[in-house]
Amino acid sequence: MSKIRTRIAPSPTGNLHVGTARAALFNELYARKQGGEFVVRIEDTDKTRSLRKYEKTIMEGLKWLGLSWDEGPDIGGETGPYRQSERGNIYGQAIQKLLDSGQAFNEEGSDVIKLKVKAQEVEFEDLVRGKVTVHSDTWGGDFVIARALNDPVFHLAVVVDDDAMRISHVIRGEDHLTNTARHILIQRALGYDSPRYGHLPLLLDERRRKLSKRTGETSLLAYRDEGFLPEAMMNYLALLGWNPGDNQEIFSHEELIKVFTLEKVQKGGAIFSRTKLVSVNKEYMKTMNPTELWQRARPFFGTEAVKLDDEYMAKAIATEQTRVGTLSEMPEALAMFAPDWMADYDPSLLVWRKSDARQTQEHLSRLVEQLEKTAGEDYTEEELDKNIITWIDDNGWGKGDVLWPLRVALTGRENSPGPFEVASVLGKKESLRRIGLALDLFNS
């Protein structure tokens, strides 16, 4: 096989698992790095559990992640079709060949077909783990390859498909090590060349247990729906079990293609840490253009989004994009910028430390007078910083005595962006309205 061809072959029996997504990414990166081709096919030999709705979400997940493929169910190609359920003919031919050669047999009293296996060691050179030896006793010798002549199980179908689709490299999880030994035996029986195999470390949870639905979210699209960026997820998945050999942690897709090698894939289990994923996502959100970030976050605002001005929301997002971890956190973080915002906090929150309500009222009243003198309807953060800080110093007040109640008056929160930053987004009219609402709380 002169051209490198890799594949991912998910089963449509559930949503796209993050482990499968990681394997798909590694296959795609390896193929692209080598100037080869990446194939997607659907392994739906499990007729009872395979559903088209899961196939749809699998393809949707791979696209969301940012992967592209050269052949697959929605693209086609010279080796298609790409669903096992549509390839029954070629499996029947392979099974008949094994039966005719005496290398397979019908189990007595049933249509089940098994491959004959004498006790032996199966040895292969793994691209990640080096030399691997598996004894046929591991699975008990003869094993099932079909439920009937035209009804193959996974082991037979995957071997026939890999050969028909000219797959040169199979990169998958280490839980397939024993399967690989069985597949090599089927390849030998059919006279096929074996692809090169590389087995990736399993994904583990933070207690070093195999990542499962019971110990954490495993569906890739659940992370999309929670507001993680696809480029951040791709970056994070690439670092699970692979190390570039330096301290770089943030990579674009193009950068990953340039530096990815199977030689740097680790053998030990890779810890899937939500905390680390949020950290990577935060890095991407920090540096994203606020206008683009608003468009990414917009779906999380629901029907309210149509009421919000794009330019205004981009400015608002710029105040919070270094603080939030996911897009789904944006509506709550930006609630203080809602046009119909009202003061619903305890007035005691306005008072700074050793100050009191009377002094706070005075400072806010004087602040209204000072802000009204500021020219124009819009403030800039720099303009407010210069004018208000100078004014505070000239009056000999503590900065916290003025800036704290201003922050609370504008946001209703203890923790928020700086008051000048918020005021520059709200503008003069809205800022003065909110300070007026704060003053009204003292009189209510």
Alpha carbons 165 and 78: distance in angstroms, whole number = 9
Active site residue 213: yes
Alpha carbons 329 and 285: distance in angstroms, whole number = 12
DSSP state at residue 353:
T
SS3 380: coil
SS3 444: coil
Q: How far from 366 is each of 1, 356, 371, 410, 416, CA to CA, in Å?
A: 81, 16, 9, 16, 23
Query: What tokens were used for 213?
Result: 């639905």
Alpha carbons 5 and 372: distance in angstroms, whole number = 68
Query: What tokens were used for 20?
Result: 């499968």
298 contacts 314 by C-beta, under 8 angstroms? no
Instruction: Give me the catalytic one of 213, 264, 386, 399.
Output: 213
Alpha carbons 206 and 190: distance in angstroms, whole number = 43
52 contacts 93 by C-beta, under 8 angstroms? no
DSSP state at residue 172:
E
Alpha carbons 412 and 338: distance in angstroms, whole number = 12
258 contacts 281 by C-beta, under 8 angstroms? no
Q: Which residues are part of the catalytic machinery? A: 213
